[in-house]
Amino acid sequence: MRHRIYASLILVAAMVAALLTACSPAAPPAPRTPAATAAPQPTLAAPSSIKLTPQEEEWNKVIQAAKAEGQVVVYAGSDLGGPIRPAIINVFKEKYGINVSLLVGRGQDGQQRVKVERQIKRPVGDLVQLGATSTTDFLEADLADSIDKILPELVTNKDKFYYNPVFDPQGRAVAVTEITLGPIINTNMVKPSDEPKSWLDLLDPKWKGKILVADPRRGGGGMSNFHTLQHFKILDENYFRKLMELEIGLYGGSSQEADNMVARGEYAIGWSSGWALAMPLIEEGAPVKFLDMKEGLTVQTGNIALVKDRPHPNAARLLANWLLSAEGQKIVHSARGSKSVRADVGDFTPEKGRIKVAKPLVRDFNVLATTNVYQEMAQRVFAKK
- Domain ranges, residue 275: 179-299+351-381
For all residues of the chain together, what is the average pLDDT?
87
Assign 43 a pLDDT band (cuts: 50, 70, 90). very low
Residue 20 pLDDT: 45
Residue 21 pLDDT: 46
Task: Specify if 34 maps to a domain.
Answer: no
Mean pLDDT, range 47-67, rounded to an integer: 86
Mean pLDDT, range 244-262, rounded to an integer: 91
User: What's the domain count of the chain?
Assistant: 1
pLDDT in tens, 99-154: 999 999 887 889 999 999 999 999 999 999 998 888 999 999 999 999 999 999 99
Task: Specify if 207 maps to a domain.
Answer: yes
Give the other-Cβ count within 10 Å of 25's Cβ.
10
Task: Specify if 93 maps to a domain.
Answer: no
Choose between 36 and 280: higher pLDDT: 280
Mean pLDDT, range 348-360, rounded to an integer: 80
User: Strands 174-186, 288-290: parallel, antiparallel or unpaired by DSSP?
Assistant: antiparallel
Task: Specify if 285 maps to a domain.
Answer: yes
Residue 256 pLDDT: 84
Choose between 7 and 138: higher pLDDT: 138
pLDDT at 355 over 80: no
Q: Which residues does 213 contact at the CB level (< 8 Å), separation at least 6?
A: 222, 243, 248, 249, 250, 251, 271, 272
pLDDT at 326 over 90: yes
pLDDT at 350 over 80: no
Q: Which of 39-43, 78-82, 216-220 shows the lowest mean pLDDT across its residues?
A: 39-43
pLDDT at 63 over 70: yes
Q: Which of 204, 248, 210, 205 is nearest to 226 (CA)?
A: 248
* DSSP result, 218-251: G-HHHHHHHHHHHHTTSS-HHHHHHHHTT--EEE
Task: Specify if 174 maps to a domain.
Answer: no
pLDDT at 25 over 50: no
User: Strands 288-290, 99-104: parallel, antiparallel or unpaired by DSSP?
Assistant: unpaired
Exposure string of 227-250, with b = 16+ CB inside 10 Å and e = fewer, is: bbbbbeebbeeebbeebbebebbb
Assign 6 a pLDDT band (cuts: 50, 70, 90). very low
Question: Largest Cα–Cα distance in the chain?
Answer: 74
Task: Specify if 149 maps to a domain.
Answer: no
In angstroms, the Cα distances linking 215 to 114, 244, 321 are: 32, 12, 38
CA 348 to CA 204: how far, in whole Å? 35
Where residue 232 falls (left for φ over 0; alpha for ψ -120 to 50; beta otherwise) is alpha
Give backbone dihedrals phi and psi of 166, rounded to 5 degrees, phi first.
-75, 125
CA 281 to CA 106: how far, in whole Å? 24
Task: Specify if 113 maps to a domain.
Answer: no
Task: Specify if 271 maps to a domain.
Answer: yes
pLDDT at 240 over 80: yes
pLDDT in tens, 79-95: 898 899 999 999 999 99
pLDDT at 164 over 80: yes
Q: Which residues does 22 contact at the CB level (< 8 Å), separation at least 6?
A: 101
Residue 384 pLDDT: 67
CATH number (domain holding residue 283): 3.40.190.10
Residue 2 pLDDT: 38
